[in-house]
Amino acid sequence: MSGTYKTTKSIVAFIDVLGSSEAIMKDADKSLQMMHDAYSEAIDLYQSLFDEGKRIKPCAKIFSDNIVVSVSREGESGHGAFCAIAMISAIIQVQFLKHGFLTRGGIASGSFFVDDMMVWGTALVKSHNLENNLAIYPRIIVDPELIGDVLDVMKELAEE
């Protein structure tokens, strides 16, 4: 089955759950339960923080101990998309920490494609590179190209 697939301009977070490979090898079912619970709790908490009509809904894909969360910038303000990704990433960090796991990640902007089968694009590559090459310690690195979005969010929060 062939189709025409295109990327959209998106903001993407690539998050790695540290130490999960060892947990999987030690007890695959227990670590699966923990991973599922932590992620479900993060989604529930994110949804509870915003009114249904105002909430930007990130798309998430999980494979093994990696989480990819994205928001298309099409139809969203740049800083609104960034704020949604930053918020869900922070909530994921906290929920996994509650279960005894640290996370490391990167957030970047660029082209991105996601469907039921795959994730693809420059934003994915850039966010993975931030996680893998720069984060080093448990934290989430924001691509310097997004500094304008960070400043917009801070300015908006200061005005409230």
Rounded Cα distance between 12 and 127, Å, is 7
pLDDT, tens digit, 9 for 90 and up, residues 127-159: 999 999 999 999 999 999 988 877 877 787 778
Confidence tier at 56 by pLDDT (50, 70, 90): confident
pTM across the whole model? 0.90
Average pLDDT score over the chain? 90
